[in-house]
Amino acid sequence: MKFNKILLIGVDEPKLGSSYWDRINSLTENKVYLPKDDPQIKENLKDADCLLVNFGINVTKEDIDAAPNLKYVGILATAFGKVDVAYAKEKGIVVCNLPAYSTESVAEWTIAAILETIRNLEEGKKRGRAGNVSEEGITAIEIKDKVFGVLGLGNIGTRVAELALGFNADVRYWSRNKKEDAEAQGIKYEELDDLISNATFLSINLAQTPDTEKIFNQDRFNALKEGAIVVNTAPMELIDLDALVERLKKGDITFIFDHSDEMVEEDLKKLIPFENCIVYPPIAYISSEAALNKQEMFTSNIENFLTGAPRNIAEAN
């Protein structure tokens, strides 16, 4: 079985290795590449039976209605909050994402970003390069024994919690559903607002849904303890930006994130001036291992669908 036409939005040649493109080419009669927001998207949806999209590409109810032959949507990412998966399911369309392909990379990056901050590594490297070997004025804290909060105990959140346990932190979590095996690992459940107010370190690993958008609101930013360090590797839609700006003005917390590429320039400019807001390019997911996992899972998802055994189906919450 083959697709008649695959429409790819934001998924161009450099995104996959040649061997993966060979496999995809064998699964379709026709293939069309278009960039995000291209005016030809709607026209090309009319006869597409497969839609492949990159991270952050919207697939709305209107897009789905514009594609009467659509059978499959493949997302080149773990997050699928930009795709109306509930409506796709109503229309009998299978949507597949890439769960857990970069779990280790994102979790390790979260810990690395915290360590880089609390151990003043940037200042240390700056002095070393300048031939300044003085430690005067450099301060640091340890992760050990601090309350380390994890919001969202999915694949990535669980791995962040495991790594934090390795530092002998007091690891606590909040998730919409309690995890039966977490307590046995030493990961304690705490109500969301209590966890936010108690944590020295806070890792945000929630999926973007209508319920989680701006979940970190003004009250929750105000509740953060002095000296708290928040790392967000989830979409910035979870954050009330105006509330974040107001708390950053106090200069007593640190906010770290890497989804800067998804933000409009106006919003990004609100955050960049603050020294206590550390803005990274989208690098948390990057590793050689994750890159291979990503390509293999993305391609296999398409093949599995065509053989009647779809895997990694994205489900609306």
Half-sphere CA count of 191, side-chain side, radius 13 A: 2
Residue 186, Cβ neighbours under 10 Å: how many?
14
pLDDT computed for residue 14 by the predictor: 93
Nearest residue to 172 (alpha-carbon basis) of 158, 162, 187: 187
The architecture that CATH gives domain 6-99+289-306 is 3-Layer(aba) Sandwich (3.40)
Phi-psi region of 92 (alpha: psi -120 to 50; beta: other; left: phi over 0): left
DSSP classification of residue 94: E
Tell me, yes or no, if the two domains 6-99+289-306 and 103-279 fold the same way. yes
Among 170, 153, 188, 163, which Cα is nearest to 113's? 163
Taking the C-alpha atoms of residue 155 and residue 292, their distance in angstroms, rounded to an integer, is 18
Under a CB-based contact definition with an 8 Å cutoff, are residues 82 and 59 in contact?
A: yes
d(CA 158, CA 203): 11
Distance CA(151)–CA(204), nearest Å, equals 5
Query: Where do the structural domains in the chain lie, given as residue ranges?
Result: 6-99+289-306, 103-279
Note the pTM of the prediction, 2 decimals: 0.87
Give the pLDDT confidence score for residue 317 in this predicted structure. Answer: 63
d(CA 122, CA 313): 41
The pLDDT of residue 81 is 87
Backbone angles phi and psi of 278, in degrees to 5:
-100, 115
* CATH class of the structural domain 103-279: alpha beta
Tens of pLDDT along 91-102?
999 999 999 999
Q: Which of 94, 67, 20 is CA-nearest to residue 316?
A: 94
pLDDT for res 79:
86
Distances (CA, A) of 263 to 58, 137, 260, 274: 14, 35, 5, 16
Q: Please tell me the predicted confidence (pLDDT) of residue 41.
A: 98
Provide the pLDDT for residue 141: 97
Cα 107 to chain centroid distance, Å, stands at 11
Per-residue pLDDT, 181:
92
How high is the pLDDT of residue 180? 87
Of 269, 280, 212, nearest to 245 by C-alpha is 269
For the chain, 317 residues long, give each residue's pLDDT as a single digit of tens: 899 999 999 999 999 999 999 999 999 999 999 999 999 999 999 999 999 999 889 999 999 999 999 999 999 999 898 999 999 999 999 999 999 999 999 999 999 999 999 999 999 999 999 999 999 999 999 999 999 999 999 999 999 999 999 999 999 999 998 998 999 999 999 999 999 999 999 999 998 888 999 999 999 999 999 999 999 999 999 999 999 999 999 999 999 999 999 899 999 999 999 999 999 999 999 999 999 999 999 999 999 999 999 999 998 76
